[in-house]
Copies of this chain bind each other. A is one copy, B any other.
Amino acid sequence: MILVITGNGKGKTTSSMGQIIRALGHNQKVCLVQLFKGENFYGEQKILTKLEGLDFFSFATKHPFCFKDISKEQVVKECEQAVNKLKEITRDNKYNLIVLEEFNIALRDKFIDEDLLLTIINELNKQANVVITGRGASNKLIELADLVSEVKEIKHPFNKGIPAQEGIEF
């Protein structure tokens, strides 16, 4: 099954983390591939890396929108490594759940070729459930998916100028 969690609201990454915990609870093998997130910043990373049954890979930890010291070319290169990892995962065929965190952003910003990624997602889906998160999911991906949830922002403290809070946003 292909699941897409998109939208501009808070709850996409936490939702995929909950999905991982759920699958691990059924003794499933899980692989998490994260883009655009530092590896030791988000609270959940500290817990997840300790859990048995989960392999965790992180690529392109900096998005050029947030980090001005990184070029688009560099990010494209690092996303290429992520794609290579996905090809390796396809060959290894050992997971029940594969979570592609923030890959919607990589498509939106054209860091990864859409047709290439959709082909890989199709391949992964033959052996595992695949979750793709990030705002702005592409129409083609939505069409391909079996399940799509849009997390809509109704109210957010950022809009009142309240900064991100440890344990809530990271």
Interface size class of A (residues with CB under 8 A): 35 or more
Copies per complex of this chain: 2
Q: A42-B25, A166-B26 are in contact. Are A156 and B152 (CB under 8 A)?
A: no
Encode A30-52 as 1/0 by CB contact (under 8 A) with B. 00000000000011111110010
A73 part of interface (Cβ distance < 8 Å): no
A11 contacts B21, CB within 8 Å? no
A107 part of interface (Cβ distance < 8 Å): no
Instruction: Please measure, in the bound complex, the distance between the C-alpha atom of A158 and the C-alpha atom of B27, giving whole angstroms.
Output: 24
Instruction: Please measure, in the bound complex, the distance between the C-alpha atom of A7 and the C-alpha atom of B45, giving whole angstroms.
Output: 27
A66 part of interface (Cβ distance < 8 Å): no
Q: Which of A1, A16, A19 has the most CB of B within 10 A?
A: A19
30 intermolecular pairs with C-beta atoms under 8 Å apart: A1-B157, A1-B165, A1-B168, A7-B151, A9-B149, A9-B151, A11-B151, A14-B14, A14-B15, A14-B18, A14-B19, A14-B21, A18-B21, A18-B44, A22-B170, A23-B43, A24-B47, A25-B47, A26-B166, A28-B167, A129-B167, A142-B155, A146-B157, A147-B155, A147-B157, A148-B153, A148-B154, A148-B156, A150-B151, A151-B151
A residues contacting B by CB (< 8 A) are: 1, 3, 5, 7, 9-19, 21-26, 28, 42-48, 51, 96-97, 129, 142, 145-157, 162, 165-168, 170
